[in-house]
Amino acid sequence: MAHTELNLRERRAIEDMLYTKVPVSRIAAEIGRHRSTIYRESKRNSFSDEELPYLDGYYGINAQRYAAARRTRRRKLIRLPELREAVIDRLKEGWSPEQIAGRLGFEGQPIRISHETIYAHVYSREGQSAALARYLPSRRKKRKPRYARRPRGLVFPPDRSIHGRPEYVKTRETFGEWEGDLMIFEKAQGKMNVASLVERKTRFAMLFRNNDRSSTQFMNRLMDVMVSLPQPARRSITFDRGLEFREWRKLQPGIGTVAWFCDPQAPWQKGSVENLNKRARRYLPR
């Protein structure tokens, strides 16, 4: 079973039962924890005041604050200022958290750190105070769960799923298999957007401007751009399930290109074009 910290509700329950002299074994049974957890909690997070000793005791709110402070001290980027400064310097130079974590591992540094730890620091109270999120290739107000949106129904049928895509596309064996996406800008910029395409084997990239956000206009513009390529160079394109791609059925009769689609809320499955977008956004801000 994975370790989970006590939460405020549990700590308040412990406070109430300790106040009424409930035995520790019964407290543990009531909240579903081991009795050693209760002993340790009451010892580590009790309040003590030398000047007012009659106030000594266990208080749920104080215990929660003590535990949160210890977690903050345990975080590498709080405990290790040199590591923190090195990470921040690379963020300011335009490195992504994945690149920073990977480079530290490649260099064989004694202290390793994951990209998730860097993201957590960027969006923590300390990171927000330093406005670190502005240095990320793709900035958000806060991190969002991977599966946070609703599916698009059958606009993209199951037989077009990325899981039905031939194995040679997945292994990048052949030329002519593309990934496509659309970069949207602020409404103040009008309906203009930029489409991005990456060929999976060679990573050859193309970007082109659209003056309209409609799916019909986008597909027509895409076909105009790709029709100049020989047929073997435009075998397939993999999109996510954004509604801007709902006119995908025009591609095969129009230019002989097959469309495939990522799982719902899983644009990371077309990672080549997602990486291109992150870098392009540095020069094409929203």
Q: Which parts of the chain register pLDDT below 70?
A: 1-3, 72-74, 108, 139-154
Here the tokens at position 80 are 């290790």
Q: Give the list of residues 6+ apart from residue 185 with CB closer than 8 angstroms, or none.
A: 192, 193, 194, 284, 286
Locate tokens 């329950």: which residue?
Answer: 13
Instruction: State how far the Cα of 242 lies from the Cα of 147, in Å rounded to an integer.
Output: 14
Q: Give the list of residues 6+ apart from residue 214 with CB closer than 8 angstroms, or none.
A: 244
Write down the pLDDT at residue 127.
86
Please check whether residue 68 is in contact with residue 51, taking contact to mean a CB–CB distance below 8 angstroms: no
Please check whether residue 284 is in contact with residue 203, taking contact to mean a CB–CB distance below 8 angstroms: no
Write down the pLDDT at residue 273.
92
Write down the pLDDT at residue 154.
62
Write down the pLDDT at residue 248.
92
Write down the pLDDT at residue 286.
72
CA 123, 128, 132, 134 dihedral sign is: positive
Write down the pLDDT at residue 274.
92
Instruction: State how far the Cα of 223 lies from the Cα of 208, in Å rounded to an integer.
Output: 12
Render the burial of 246-278: b for 16+ CB within 10 Å, e for the rest.
bbbebbeeebebbbbbbeebebebbebbbbbbe
Q: What is the pTM of this model?
A: 0.48
Q: Give the list of residues 6+ apart from residue 250 with CB closer than 8 angstroms, or none.
A: 219, 220, 223
